[in-house]
Amino acid sequence: MDRWVKAGVVENRFEGDRVSQALDETQIPFLIKSFLDTAYDGLYIPQKGWGAVMVPEGFRDEAEKVISEVKRSFRKEEEMSLNSMDEILRFAIRKEADAAAFYHMAADRSNPGVRKTFEELAKEEEGHKEKLEVLDLKKIDQIELKEVKGLGLSEMMEDVPYSPEMSYADLLRMAIKNEEKSQHLYTSSAKIVKEPKLEKLFLILAQEESKHKVRLEKIYDEEILKEF
User: What residues line the site for Fe ion (CB under 5 A)?
Assistant: 96, 125, 128, 179, 209, 212
Given the complex with Fe ion, which of 11 and 96 has the nearer CB atom? Answer: 96
DSSP assignment letter at 148:
-
In this structure, are residues 197 and 142 in contact, taking their beta carbons and an 8 Å threshold? no
Identity at 110, one-letter amino acid code: S
* DSSP result, 165-201: T--HHHHHHHHHHHHHHHHHHHHHHHHH---HHHHHH
CB-wise, 7 or 125, nearer to Fe ion?
A: 125
Between residues 11 and 179, which has the closer beta carbon with respect to Fe ion?
179
In the complex with Fe ion, which residue's Cβ is closer, 15 or 209?
209
Q: Is 178 in contact with 46 (CB distance < 8 Å)?
A: yes
Nearest distance, CB of residue 105 and Fe ion, angstroms: 14
Q: How far is the CB of 34 from Fe ion (least distance, A)?
A: 27
Q: Closest CB to Fe ion among 128 and 177?
A: 128
Nearest-approach distance from CB 184 to Fe ion, in angstroms: 12
Smallest separation, CB 37 to Fe ion (Å): 28
Task: Round to whole Å and give the CA distance between 84 and 95.
Answer: 17
Residue 43, SS3 per DSSP: coil
To Fe ion, the closest distance from the beta carbon of 211 in angstroms equals 8
Determine contact, residues 47/11, Cβ cutoff 8 Å.
yes
**C-alpha to C-alpha distance for 143 and 172, rounded to whole angstroms:** 29
* Cβ 154 to Fe ion shortest distance, Å: 12
Residue nearer to Fe ion on the CB measure, 60 or 128: 128
Q: How far is residue 22's CA from residue 65's CA, in Å, rounded to a whole number?
A: 11
Q: How many Å apart are CA 79 and CA 116, to the nearest integer?
A: 34
